[in-house]
Amino acid sequence: MSAFKHIMICLDLTEMDETLIKYSNFLVETFAPESMTFIHVMETIEVPDEIADAFPDMDKPLNELVQDEIQEQVDTFFTHHKKVKTNVVLDYGLTTEQIVQQARKRRIDLAILGKKIGYVGEGGVAKRIVGLMPASVLMVSETTPHTIDRILVRMDFSKMSAIAMKMAKSIASYTDATLECHHVYKLPLGYVPQKSPAEVKKLKKTLGDFVQKEYRAFLKKQKIQDEVPCTYSMDIQGDESQMLYSHAIKSGADLIIIGSKIKSQLANVMLDSTSEKLANANKSIPIMVIKDQKQSIGFLKALFDY
């Protein structure tokens, strides 16, 4: 059974679309999903008669022109129409809301978003989608290679870390990727610089022993076999996301998987701070944010009556 049955590619009519559509070929070749949905959401715009009259040669409504453009892009860069059911969707309204609704309607289990490194774009909409999407989300950049060889999983000994690890193992079964977990241990700001080199060495050993003990307890509690190596680093600056990302670079990871916890049950469904920071637009390593779909859908129903 495929790790991902129904995949959604979110397009925005920019240069990034070509990158995402080409990456979707890699996903089909690797995971053999049942369906691929390419979606773009446009605002409902009323064109004044005076403007329409000024362009009599425009024989198609704007929405048909946009639909044709998306279809042409998919026809040009997506090469697996015969292997998988392919949907090209043009929706209208608020981008985040419509994409989330379509994801639920089509039972999407993985949504692909662009992380613009060189292309223009701040990624604000993408961040909101990541926070509200009931499905897991993979953010890729223009430089993302079409390979998954080494996966780094954020480890905080929670249920979501267990879900993230299981997803990593599932992906590795398709890609033969090497797996590693990494735990970022938080220390008070300025704590380590006050210690002597000997004390720092002793502290690192003590932390290492503690992390491994916690990790073994976590594996036993979550009934996870085939232990994945778990490394750790000390965070004295209060930025777990940067420590995790820095380790990913050093270890040669080409995918970071993080199990995201819902931050608020009130006015907004938001990512926890580490997931939110990792999902920002200036990180080149792909980030996969794993969701607990039952929990996410429950909050969406409560908040938006979906």
Structure tokens at 31: 């995971």
Structure tokens at 109: 């289990």
pLDDT digits (tens, 9 = 90+) for 221-276: 998 887 799 999 888 777 888 999 999 999 999 999 999 876 554 444 456 778 77
Residue 111 has pLDDT above 50, yes or no: yes
Q: What is the pLDDT of residue 217?
A: 94
Give bridge partners of residue 86 from the DSSP assignment: 36
Provide mean pLDDT across the span 42-55: 64
Q: What is the pLDDT of residue 138?
A: 95
Q: What is the pLDDT of residue 120?
A: 45
pLDDT digits (tens, 9 = 90+) for 126-141: 777 888 888 899 999 9
pLDDT digits (tens, 9 = 90+) for 168-188: 999 999 999 999 999 998 876
Give bridge partners of residue 270 from the DSSP assignment: none
Q: What is the pLDDT of residue 202?
A: 84
Q: What is the pLDDT of residue 214?
A: 93
Hey, what domains does the chain have and what are their CATH numbers? 1-145+293-306 (3.40.50.620), 148-253 (3.40.50.620)
CA-to-CA separations, 3 to 39, 68, 239, in angstroms, rounded: 21, 31, 31
Percent of the chain topping pLDDT 90? 51
Tokens 């042409």 -> residue? 72
Q: What is the pLDDT of residue 44?
A: 65
Rounded to 5 degrees, what angle do the CA atoms 77, 255, 13 make? Answer: 35
Q: What is the pLDDT of residue 262?
A: 61
Q: Which of 138, 154, 172 is nearest to 19 (CA)?
A: 138
What is d(CA 103, CA 96) in angstroms, rounded to the nearest whole number?
Answer: 11
Assess contact for 150 and 255: CB atoms under 8 A: yes
Assess contact for 109 and 5: CB atoms under 8 A: yes
What is d(CA 269, CA 259) in angstroms, rounded to the nearest whole number?
Answer: 15
pLDDT digits (tens, 9 = 90+) for 51-108: 556 666 556 677 888 899 999 999 999 999 999 999 999 999 888 889 999 999 999 9
Give bridge partners of residue 111 from the DSSP assignment: 8, 137
Instruction: Please tell me whether residue 274 adopts helix, strand or coil conformation.
Output: helix
What is d(CA 182, CA 169) in angstroms, rounded to the nearest whole number?
Answer: 15
Residue 191 has pLDDT above 90, yes or no: no
Go through the chain and tell me how many residues it has: 306
Q: Which range has the worst mean pLDDT, 62-71, 82-91, 190-199, 210-219?
A: 190-199
Q: How far apart are the first and last CA of the chain?
A: 29
What is d(CA 10, CA 15) in angstroms, rounded to the nearest whole number?
Answer: 13
